Structure 1
């Protein structure tokens, strides 16, 4: 709808469990650039009866903003939702290099967040489920080249990814690690299996459309 760290591991579901029964679940999808996060998020959202999708690309304040975007997700989106309150965030306008229109996230609708920096030690505690996507560098570079036409930005961005991953270990925090190089249908099937099976006492079956 458009309107105008602590050090706990992922398994520490206290923050989620304390209000989980009164709000819809949150799924965090993380992975390096080109690993298939955006495609998986869209596919998962399409398999839910209702959902909101937030892209980390809309939160980063520019090319140097991976860490800031990750903090913004936790503080401005996930913390309000964890209290059962609507969350408000402002999209980053990459052409004007400034914040643009505001968006509201309804706590009663499942939220899917995708992008580098989505899964941190702080955000993991405020989500019901999390996925890390892995794919080999040559495949990721090929995808990025086809998508963007250039990968000149990739080396500098990779430095930020490396630092974030070394500090936060999202691959270790994730509830499930999927092969982003596999066929998209297989990746989606495994993701939905994980959501249906549930983790931290939360299952997505209520919101999963009949399959």
Structure 2
């Protein structure tokens, strides 16, 4: 399947978050969710002739221990306003400083918004489409350490244990519309189902 074919599937579905088709891109750390979400946003933009914002759950985390409690912040700042047909907004979390910083980032009430990152599938019935991205564990660890630095290894390993328990308990991949490999090349998406 191509990214464009996936974009067409999404655009054929109805909005479930107000007038917005919310697309969740979930999966474990280092699987390739961010790159996949960006490629999907480009494809949907091209097929639908619209701008498609990508919202990253990492921007709502208040540090390593906020793996599950960030959702209220995300709902208040972005999902709630989109649900009401208004734009949302948020600030980025600076992992080095340990706080939210910088200017507010606007999230328009667009026809399609992609929510990318760990826990994105928690939007459940308000999601128009859910993608679960996965890759082999060793590759995921190498990608994460390359991205975040080897000093994060202890926190990252704790994070991975908690995310593994979460995905097993919630059966996130089983409930996704598609499960894809984070090892794609070109425009092809390797869909497991």
> TM-score if structure 2 supplies the norm length?
0.76
Q: Quick one: which of 174, 177, 199 aligns to 2:179?
A: 177
Cα contact 1:15–1:82 (8 A) shared by 2: no
Q: Distance in 2 between matches of 1:30 and 1:99?
A: 23
Deviation at 1:184, TM superposition (A): 5.5
Match of 2:24 in 1: 28
Runs of 5+ in structure 1 lacking a partner?
1-12, 195-211
Runs of 5+ in structure 2 lacking a partner?
1-12
Instruction: Note if 1:119 corresponds to 2:121.
Output: yes
The structure that is helix-richer by fraction is: 2
Write out aligned runs for 1:183-198 (5 A).
183=185, 185-187=187-189
Instruction: Note if 1:46 corresponds to 2:42.
Output: yes
CA distance 1:52–1:164, change in 2 (3 Å): same
Q: Distance in 1 between matches of 2:128 and 2:156?
A: 31
Q: Distance in 2 between matches of 1:24 and 1:14?
A: 8
Aligned Cα RMSD in Å?
Answer: 2.8
Aligned residues between the structures: 173
> TM-score if structure 1 supplies the norm length?
0.70
Q: Distance in 1 between matches of 2:111 and 2:70?
A: 22
Q: Stretches of 4+ moved more than 6 A in 1?
A: none
Q: Quick one: which of 136, 155, 158 aligns to 1:156?
A: 158
Please identify, of 133-142 and 176-185, the stretch whose mean Cα deviation from structure 2 is larger. Answer: 176-185
Q: Distance in 1 between matches of 2:41 and 2:15?
A: 24
Q: Distance in 1 between matches of 2:114 and 2:128?
A: 10
SS in 2 for 1:67: coil
SS in 2 for 1:103: strand
Write out aligned runs for 1:57-96 (5 A).
57-96=58-97
Q: Distance in 2 between matches of 1:143 and 1:51?
A: 26
Q: Distance in 2 between matches of 1:96 and 1:26?
A: 31
Cα contact 1:14–1:125 (8 A) shared by 2: no
Q: Distance in 2 between matches of 1:127 and 1:75?
A: 17
Deviation at 1:167, TM superposition (A): 4.0
